[in-house]
């Protein structure tokens, strides 16, 4: 737990907190970007270059921009300030506790089962590509199919009120 880790962790947490607490939705997206970049920095510190850089490329680049796009294209949302705590306070706390319990349980069990090994020296692109296209090729394809279905569904939904028609 060195100094740079603490710095990056604090940045990530600050970004995530701001994304949750700020009232202007666009500010929330920008704070979320800070959180994403912090998370990517943690991945990079762990030696996972591919995952860290993909995190920036996909999340900070594409996902955040898409979120910003949606906010700006949804008319009137930009100037509406939403309540910082929308749901009932107690329900929110209960949900948070539940999620934390599940995560903590998974982490504790996982650590107990797996020996902590030093990360392989080349835990990079080759290993990930190998795993994706050999051992986990079926889940990958299923995920791709799911995304395609979602995309087609989104296009159909957007077409419905367009004058062009399918």
Partner 1 sequence: MSLFILHLLTSIHALAASTIGHTLLMVVPVMVVFPALFAVTTLLERKGLGRIQNRYGPNRAGPWGLLQPMADGIKALTKEDVVPEAADRLVHFCAPVLMVLSAFLVYAVVPVSRTWVVAPLRAGVLFFFAAGSLMEIAVFMAGWSSRSQYSLLGAMRALAQMISYEIPLVLSAMVAVMAAGSLSMVEIVRRQAGYTGIWPHWFVLTPWGLFGFALFLIAATAESNRCPFDLPEGESEIIAGYYIEYSGFKFALFFLAEYLGMFAISALGITLFLGGWSAPFSFLAWVPTWIWFFAKLLALIAGFIWIRGTLPRLRMDQLMRFAWEFLLPMTLCNVFVAGAWKFLPAGVLRWLGCALVLLGAYWLLGRRLEQRGGLPQRNYRFAE
Residues binding partner 1 (CB under 8 A): 26-27, 30, 33, 40, 49-50, 53-54, 56-57, 60-62, 64-65, 68-69, 72, 122, 124-125
Helix (H, G, I), strand (E, B) or coil at 79: coil
Instruction: Provide the minimum distance between the beta carbon of 124 and partner 1 in the complex, in angstroms, as a whole number.
Output: 5
Cβ distance 35 to 19 under 8 Å?
Answer: yes
Interatomic CA distance for residues 64 and 68, integer angstroms: 6
Q: How far is CA 64 from CA 3, 54, 84, 133, 150, in A?
A: 28, 14, 20, 28, 19
Please identify, using beta-carbon distances, which residue of 126 and 135 lies nearer to partner 1. 126
Closest among 13, 43, 48, 46 to 31, alpha carbons compared: 13
């Amino acid at each position: 737990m060195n100094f740079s880790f603490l710095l990056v962790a604090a940045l990530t947490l600050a970004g995530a907190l701001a994304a949750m607490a700020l009232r202007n939705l666009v500010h929330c997206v920008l704070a979320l970007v800070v959180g994403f970049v912090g998370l990517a920095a943690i991945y990079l510190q762990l030696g996972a270059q591919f995952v860290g850089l993909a995190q920036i490329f996909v999340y900070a680049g594409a996902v955040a921009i898409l979120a910003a796009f949606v906010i700006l294209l949804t008319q009137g949302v930009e100037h509406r300030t939403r309540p910082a705590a929308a749901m009932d306070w107690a329900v929110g706390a209960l949900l948070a506790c539940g999620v934390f319990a599940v995560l903590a349980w998974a982490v504790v069990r996982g650590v107990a089962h797996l020996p902590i090994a030093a990360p392989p020296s080349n835990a990079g692109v080759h290993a990930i590509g190998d795993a994706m296209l050999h051992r986990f090729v079926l889940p990958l394809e299923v995920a791709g199919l799911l995304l395609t279905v979602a995309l087609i569904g989104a296009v159909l939904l957007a077409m419905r009120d367009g004058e062009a028609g399918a």
